[in-house]
Amino acid sequence: MSIIWKYLDKRSAAVDALKDYSSMKFIIDHTDEEIKSAYEKMGGISSPQFDGMPHSHNPQAGEERIVKGIEEIDVLKERYRQAVEYMAWFLPAWEELSGDERYVLETFYGEGNEYGANAILDICDRFGIERSSAYNRKNRALSHLVVLLFGKA
């Protein structure tokens, strides 16, 4: 399934894509470590737990640990594949934006701001404009991103 189908309503989809960027970047940067950790958990021998509770012997415990590890690795690899597909779709459009447009969108929709808590004031200060002009600048940048991601708005 194409990554574009996840984002059907174009304007809100562009906002969602902006918000997903940091998560996808994190997935791409850290998946190798997580897969390596899952492989290490599969091969180790579990240590006894001295919690005072009786335990039953499970002869398939090692096999179950390996199957669980394989399933975890499959999930990590699928998540990585989706992140790579997202980046291949989103990054060319993001890089096509001007530096000012990227700043406005990052400031307004970035991780630290929930729909522009103080973001609009930061934008006003940076460009020396009033609030309505800052919102107009944000809307123009978002519209430009929508066109770059989806074609015709």
* 20 in a structural domain: yes
| Phi (first) and psi of residue 128, to 5 degrees | 65, 45
* 127 in a structural domain: yes
* 3 in a structural domain: no
Place of tokens 């997903």: 20
Q: pLDDT tens, position by position, for the chain (153 residues)?
A: 566 555 567 778 888 888 888 888 899 999 888 888 888 887 766 666 777 777 777 677 778 888 888 898 899 999 999 999 999 999 999 999 999 999 999 888 877 665 556 888 888 888 899 988 989 999 999 999 989 988 775
Q: Which domain holds residue 138?
A: 8-44+61-150
* 49 in a structural domain: no
82 burial level (CB within 10 Å; 0-12, 13-18, 19+): middle
Based on the structure, what is the number of domains in the chain?
1
What is the distance between the alpha carbons of residues 75 and 63, in angstroms, rounded to a whole number? 19
Tokens of 70: 């394989």
